[in-house]
A and B are shown apart, each in its own frame.
Chain A
Amino acid sequence: MNNNAQPPVCCDTPGRSLSERIGRDLPRRYRAEKRFRRLGLTAIVVALSFLVFLFGSIIGSGYSAFRQTYVELAVTFDESAFTSENLAAADFPGLVKQSLRTMFPEVEGRAALKNLYRIVSPSAAYTLQDMVAENPKLIGTTQRIWVLADDDVDMLIKGQISGAGEEANRRLKDDQLAWITTLRDQGRIETRFNTTFFTAGDSREPEQAGIRGAVMGSFYSLLITLLLSFPIGVMAAIYLEEFAPDNILTNVIEVNINNLAAVPSIIFGLLGLAIFINFFGMPRSTPVVGGLVLTLMTLPVIIIASRAALKSVPPSIREAALGIGASKMQTVIHHVLPLALPGMLTGTIIGMARALGDTAPLLMIGMIAFIVDIPSGFTDPATALPVQIFLWADSPERAFTEKTSAAIMILLAFLIAMNATAVFLRKKFEIKW
């Protein structure tokens, strides 16, 4: 066809071959590539080192919270203490104090005795009460019982505080240190795995404080969030992406959904306070309100992720289904949705992970209250994991520092588990073609 066309003339500087021209430039191109790769690698190393530092400092200060110091007492359940029919009315703190006095008979004076009693946790009395309630035959006998040590003793045993320095500036006085040394030498102090941390609710006493109340509060809130935001978000995304006419209204909706995803979460908290609590009169500090607020916050994220997932389904699949006479809905349900589902699930779980870690909206609806009881339903007052971390970080006791870090570890573990689930679900439902 091009029978009279000239052979191509490409060189503006004749006498130089193409490979020479390229070769002259080649080292520069390779240098640029090397530079770029090195920059990328540096970025990764910097990011990773930050991550390692973060995890290292949290785990380093938090791992000790998973062990707890116990003290062995020889408690005599004197029959004279159980005069009343009601076993719970007995003076259990008195029994604890008495056993301590028996152990250290040389201690005298009100101040010294007070220091002595402080070696064990106030919860020791409840431990005894529970034992007697479970087995009344204990009355009249002497038992060797391991009870929780006080948080200061716990800190000393774990090496978080030292016995050195001016006595007045120390939490543990010289006589207490001596008693602890004695108990230690007798083998009456040991550290065990801290089950309290996983089974108890919040407490003012660090040794009795646990994460379970917060975990359950977060669980109920997130359950509400998931049950509401996943179906609503997916439905909204399907309608907007597949069925909605392309007009100004849908454009406005789309812009606003994108804006909502970027709204600071505390605004959603204020909204929840105004609507759910003040207007609808729902109870304060409850997972149901928390879940609703987190739903508002998560919905835009899920809608955006689901729309992106729907958009990424190749149009050839839609055409194939429409081409053999599937209705619009059949096309979406039978073919588009299964292909978009992994992306939707990923978006949902990432949204849920964000909701799990969010504190600000929960502060506004009162889930920051100090709640000891473990919530057993959606309308029980509760707190949530991140709020619990916030509360503990605010507490003055030295022992709450490690509890804070431990709670952060639990939160991170949940987040990692959720993200791993997202990856797993995506891999499982991903259909290759």
Chain B
Amino acid sequence: MMVPACHPIATTHFQTANRGISTMFMKLTSGPAGSTRQSTMEGTGFADSRQQEAGAVAQRQTVGESFVADPRMTARDVAVYYGDKCAIRSISIDVGCNEVLAMIGPSGCGKSTFLRCLNRMNDTVPGCRVTGEIRLDGEDIYAPSVDVVPLRARVGMVFQKPNPFPKSIFDNVAYGPKIHGLTRTKAELEEIVETSLSKAGLWEEVKDRLQEPGTGLSGGQQQRLCIARAIAVSPEVILMDEPCSALDPIATARIEDLIAELRLQYSIVIVTHAMQQASRVSQRTAYFHLGDLIEVGPTERVFTNPRHRLTEDYITGRFG
């Protein structure tokens, strides 16, 4: 099923986009969904009002407010290649202090890839190459002189699937402070464990069984344990890669409350598939599409009044 050539936007898109993207796009639009999409587009008649943005769609330039006045992290022209394949292109965005930046977008759009650039977790992927510049507090984290070990302590990460170590709850949280030598006495360590677990909202539930294995907790508790583990080393930024995708709605709600509290002390970047979650927890939202950063803006504005057609299509559920 081909997209009809009479449609101006689709045509421009196909002519300019590179070949890999066009095949991916065809996958998206082929089949019954494609026909529906075409009909809804024509039904709304939005082509008239947004005709002027067709060029922007073709070039996929970021619209909205990518930069903030007082950034904690800045990314400029970041591109990531896996071997020859370009995963994300020319991403420029700031992460502000004490804000939650949500990154949304369809699967495979590169938001997780970009997130993993922020603490250089992509270094562990063979064949992965990062270009551009990412700064944390003004310091280039990809500079040759930068050691990833302290960097990852400053930029903590919470993963999609809860991954506590197969050790006791106490050891899970204490591991970071221990390897970084943050404490001198056992009492200090215990205090860090307690405050971290309290911040993660887990202390009351586990204070009597700190020596039990962390893997014995429920999924939501495990994820909060992972958050406690991340904040035990007092990071400046916390990266969360779909932290609630494996959790039920109640556990998700707890984590979201927790994120709101953590924002007061940390900068948080969260990748999420749930747009409601992004709208609930974040102050700014960035929309990624097929390796491009399409739109950035205050969450409320992005969700109520998206400026880019792709953003609107996504948040209104037309594809993705």
**Pick from A3, A324, A327, A431: contact of B166, CB under 8 Å:** A431
Q: How many residues of A contact B (CB 8 A)?
A: 26
A158 CB-CB contact with B under 8 Å? no
Q: From the candidates A323, A339, A432, A433, name the one contacting B121 in the complex (CB within 8 A).
A: A323
- The answer to whether B152 has its CB under 8 Å from any CB of chain A is yes
B159 lies within 8 A of A325 (CB): no
A324 x B124 contact (CB < 8 A): no
Give the docked Cα–Cα distance between A431 and B157 (Å): 24
Q: A246-B126, A316-B163, A319-B159 are in contact. Are A326 and B32 (CB under 8 A)?
A: no
Indicate whether A324 sits within 8 Å of B229 (C-beta atoms), given known contacts A319-B163, A335-B165.
yes
Known: A323-B119, A325-B233. A3 touches B159 (CB 8 A): no
Q: Which residues of B contact A322 (CB under 8 A)?
A: 121, 124, 152
* Interface flags, A396-433, vs B, CB<8A=1, else 0: 00000000000000000000000000000000000111
Within 8 A of A (CB), among B134-169: 149-153, 156-159, 161, 163-166
Q: Is A29 an interface residue (CB 8 A)?
A: no
Q: Are B152 and A330 interface neighbours, CB within 8 A?
A: no
Q: How far is the CA of A316 from the CA of B176 in the complex (A)?
A: 16
Shortest CB distance B180–A (Å) = 6
Instruction: Assess whether B59 is interfacial by the CB under 8 Å rule.
Output: no
A318 at interface, CB cutoff 8 A? yes
Does A1 lie within 8 Å of B215, measured CB to CB? no
Given contacts A1-B33, A2-B36, contact A325 B215 (CB under 8 A): no
Contacts of A327 in B (CB 8 A): 149, 179
A321 at the interface (CB under 8 A from B): yes
Considering the complex, which residues of chain B in the window 172-230 have a beta carbon less than 8 Å from any beta carbon of chain A? 175-176, 179-180, 213, 215, 226, 229-230
The answer on a CB contact under 8 Å between A319 and B150 is no
| Chain A residues near B150 (CB-CB < 8 A) | 325
- Please give, as numbers and ranges, the residues of chain B lying within 8 Å of A1 by CB-CB distance: 33, 36, 317-318
Residue in B closest to A6 when the chains form the complex, CB atoms = B32
Q: Tell me if B30 counts as interface (CB < 8 A to partner A).
A: no
Residues of B within 8 A of A316 (CB): 159, 161, 163
B126 and A325 contact, CB distance less than 8 A: no
Given A317-B163, A325-B150, A325-B152, also A433-B215 (CB < 8 A): yes
Structural contact, A324 and B156, CB atoms closer than 8 A: yes
Indicate whether A324 sits within 8 Å of B152 (C-beta atoms), given known contacts A4-B36, A335-B165, A431-B166.
yes
Q: How far is the CA of A334 from the CA of B171 in the complex (A)?
A: 11
Q: A5-B32, A320-B165, A433-B166 are in contact. Are A326 and B179 (CB under 8 A)?
A: yes
Instruction: Check B265 for interface membership: any CB of A closer than 8 A.
Output: no
B233 proximity list for chain A (CB < 8 A): 324-325
A1 to B166, CA, bound (A): 44
Residues 82-129 (chain B) with a chain A CB within 8 angstroms: 119, 121, 124, 126
Closest to A338 in B: B166
- Collect the chain A residues with CB atoms within 8 Å of residue B229's CB: 320, 324
A323 touching B156 in the complex, CB below 8 Å, given contacts A4-B39, A335-B165: yes
Interface residues of A in 171-209 (CB under 8 A from B): none
Interface majority SS on B: helix, strand, loop or mixed? helix
How many pairs of residues, A versus B, come closer than 8 Å at their CB atoms?
83
Contact flag A2-B230 (CB < 8 Å), given A322-B124, A326-B179, A339-B166: no
Of A318, A325, A432, most buried by chain B (CB within 10 Å of CB) is A325
Contacting residues, chain A, for B33 (C-beta < 8 A): 1-2
Task: Give the number of residues in B that approach A within 8 Å (Cβ atoms).
Answer: 36
Partner of B159, one of A2, A4, A246, A320: A320
Nearest A residue to B39 by beta-carbon distance? A4
A334 CB contacts on chain B under 8 angstroms: 175, 179
Q: Annotate A261-289 by CB proximity to B: 1 below 8 A, 0 otherwise.
A: 00000000000000000000000000000
Residues in chain A near residue B156, CB distance under 8 A: 323-324
**Contact mask A312-352 → B, CB, 8 Å, 1/0?**
00101111111111110010001100010000000000000
Residue from the set B165, B232, B318 with the largest chain A CB neighbour count within 10 Å: B165
Given A1-B33, A2-B36, residue A324 in contact with residue B163 (CB < 8 A): no
Q: Contacts A5-B32, A316-B161 given: A324-B121 contact, CB under 8 Å? A: no
- Asked whether, in the complex, the Cβ of B179 is within 8 Å of the Cβ of A325, the reply is yes
Establish whether residues A324 and B176, one from each chain, have CB atoms under 8 Å apart when the complex forms: yes
- A-facing mask of B30-55, CB < 8 A → 1, else 0? 00110110010000000000000000
Residue in B closest to A3 when the chains form the complex, CB atoms? B36
Distance, CA A180 to CA B179, complexed state (A): 79
Distance, CA A311 to CA B3, complexed state (A):
45
Q: Closest CB of chain A to B228's CB: distance in Å? A: 11
In the complex the two chains form, what is the Cα distance from A339 to B167 in whole Å? Answer: 11
- Closest-CB distance, A251 to chain B (whole angstroms): 13
Question: What separation, in Å, do the CA atoms of A82 and B119 have in the docked complex?
Answer: 92
**Residues of A close to B32: CB separation below 8 A:** 2, 5
Whether B149 contacts A325 by the Cβ 8 Å rule is yes
A320's nearest neighbour on chain B, judged by CB, is: B163
Cα-based distance from A327 to B24 in the complex (angstroms):
38
- Give the residues in chain A near B36, CB-CB below 8 Å: 1-5
Residue of B nearest to A339 (CB): B166
- Cβ contacts under 8 Å, A4 to chain B: 35-36, 39
Distance between B152 CB and nearest chain A CB, rounded to angstroms: 4
Q: Are A324 and B175 within 8 A (Cβ)?
A: yes
Q: Are B164 and A320 in contact (CB under 8 A)?
A: yes
Residue with the greatest number of chain B CB neighbours at <10 A, chosen from A3, A335, A432, A433:
A433
- Bound Cα distance from A294 to B64, whole angstroms: 69
Instruction: Produce 1/0 per residue, A1-26, CB < 8 A to B.
Output: 11111000000000000000000000
B105 to chain A, nearest CB (A): 19
Known contacts A2-B33, A335-B165; decide if A330 and B126 are in contact (CB<8 Å): no
CA A317 – CA B152 in complex, angstroms? 15
11 A-B pairs, CB-CB below 8 angstroms?
Answer: A1-B33, A2-B36, A3-B36, A4-B36, A321-B175, A322-B152, A323-B119, A323-B152, A324-B157, A324-B230, A433-B164
Given contacts A1-B317, A325-B150, 5 further A-B contacts (CB under 8 A): A317-B165, A320-B164, A323-B119, A323-B158, A325-B153
Q: Which residues of B come within 8 Å of A, CB atoms? A: 32-33, 35-36, 39, 119, 121, 124, 126, 149-153, 156-159, 161, 163-166, 175-176, 179-180, 213, 215, 226, 229-230, 232-233, 317-318
Q: B-contacting residues of A (Cβ < 8 Å)?
A: 1-5, 246, 314, 316-327, 330, 334-335, 339, 431-433
- Which 9 residue pairs are nearest across A and B when measured between Cβ atoms? A325-B153, A323-B157, A316-B163, A433-B215, A325-B152, A431-B166, A324-B176, A320-B163, A433-B166
